[in-house]
């Protein structure tokens, strides 16, 4: 085996390992908080609550939608949801809660549901998070209560604050250089440089920039093994792949799990369609995880409320592959029964 082939195989193994780790060990990227967490609302009345959404990671959060399933309460979000939350950004959603006249009086504990998704390369994840709150229902108020107007926060990224701090630091350095030239002394320049360095470190720690750097490092490390190369073009089967597919002699059914918010799912769907064209013994079905969540959960695509797509399941063995990276080789292994 020559060196180039060994290197190619090693990179393929690392890519598959990274995809498996991402599929199994994905974590939520957004944090949520309610203000207030103790909500008081009269029967037949309304209350305003603010949902704060923070993204402390290097990934973009998509399609963020709050939901509430409490009998007697209705929820209206303003805006209805957040289409995209950029890395390190903050946003808010004003929640208008309406209570029916027959809601029982008293205090009870509930959770606000928040649904969102994000993608890492060719893998997309969906999360269903819960934000706890306490609800107190009071008798109807005889005096109309004027609700506050809450304006959503669209973006407050530390990145722009950092640019402002950098500009101020440059001005300080320029002033120190001018003093050095005017008075032929170097200590103002050294003092400003030390102050700028220490202040920059303190500022970064205060804004969790050290965590951001770790996140960026993890993305770069993942990119080294190719997981960040999302597939968006039309797939093409290799001659070796076609020969292996045509050599499958038993009936095999594949379930292709997809979602509308998944970027790489169309590529995976097209790949399976091409495989079916080369061997009529291989049949397939496309499953929308949002329309058939029970089937997706039984198949291991939804785990503890977390969805991973694209996912392709071989029905007779239960073997499954996630993502679209190096998909042809992994599907051939799936069809031939190799782990």
SS3 category, 230: coil
H/E stretch holding 243 reads helix 239-246
d(CA 100, CA 328): 55
- Minimal CA–CA distance to 249: which of 279, 215, 289, 293? 279
Q: What's the pLDDT tens digit per position in 173-183?
A: 666 666 666 66
Using N-to-C axis directions, what is the helix angle for 327-335 and 239-246, rounded to 10°?
A: 20
d(CA 212, CA 242): 44
d(CA 174, CA 53): 39
Mean pLDDT of 39-62: 91
SS3 category, 51: strand
Residue 17 has pLDDT above 90, yes or no: no
Residue 63 has pLDDT above 80, yes or no: yes
Parallel/antiparallel/unpaired status of strands 282-288 and 90-99: unpaired
Q: What are phi and psi of 170, to 5 degrees?
A: -65, -40
Would you place residue 120 in the very low, low, confident or very high pLDDT band (cuts 50, 70, 90)? confident
SS3 category, 284: strand
Structure tokens that stand for 310 in this block:
């694209």
Average pLDDT in the chain = 77
H/E stretch holding 260 reads none
Q: What's the pLDDT tens digit per position in 272-287?
A: 999 999 999 999 999 9
Q: Dihedral through CA 333, CA 313, CA 267, CA 309, nearest 10?
A: -120
With a pLDDT cut of 70, the percent of the chain lying above it is: 65
d(CA 117, CA 136): 32
More confidently predicted of 217 and 236: 236
């Amino acid at each position: 085996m020559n060196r180039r082939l060994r290197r190619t195989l090693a990179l393929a193994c690392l890519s598959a390992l990274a995809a498996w780790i991402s599929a199994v060990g994905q974590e939520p990227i957004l944090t949520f908080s309610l203000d207030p967490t103790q909500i008081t609302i009269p029967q037949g009345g309304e209350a305003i609550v603010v949902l704060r959404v923070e993204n402390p990671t290097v990934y973009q959060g998509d399609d963020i939608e709050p939901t509430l399933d409490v009998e007697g309460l209705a929820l209206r979000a303003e805006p209805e949801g957040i289409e995209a939350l950029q890395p390190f950004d903050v946003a808010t959603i004003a929640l208008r809660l309406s209570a029916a006249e027959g809601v029982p009086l008293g205090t009870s504990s509930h959770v606000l549901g928040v649904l969102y998704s994000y993608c890492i390369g060719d893998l997309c994840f969906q999360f269903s998070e819960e934000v706890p709150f306490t609800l107190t229902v009071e008798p109807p108020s005889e005096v109309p209560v004027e609700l506050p107007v809450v304006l959503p926060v669209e973006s407050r990224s530390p990145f722009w604050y950092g640019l402002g701090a950098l500009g101020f630091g440059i001005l300080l350095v320029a002033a120190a250089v001018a003093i050095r030239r005017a008075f032929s002394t170097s200590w103002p320049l050294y003092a400003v440089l030390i102050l700028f360095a220490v202040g920059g470190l303190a500022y970064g720690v205060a804004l969790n920039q050290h965590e951001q750097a770790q996140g960026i490092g993890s993305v770069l490390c993942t990119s080294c093994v190719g997981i960040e190369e999302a597939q968006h073009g039309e797939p093409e089967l290799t001659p070796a792949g076609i020969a292996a597919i045509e050599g499958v002699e038993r009936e095999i059914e594949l379930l292709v799990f997809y979602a509308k918010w998944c970027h790489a799912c169309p590529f995976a769907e097209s790949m399976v369609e091409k495989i079916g064209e080369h061997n009529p013994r291989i049949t397939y079905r496309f499953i929308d995880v949002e329309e058939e969540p029970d089937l997706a959960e039984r198949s291991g695509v939804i785990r503890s409320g977390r969805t991973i797509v694209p996912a392709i399941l071989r029905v007779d063995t239960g073997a499954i592959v996630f993502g679209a990276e190096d998909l042809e080789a992994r599907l051939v292994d799936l069809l031939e029964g190799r782990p």
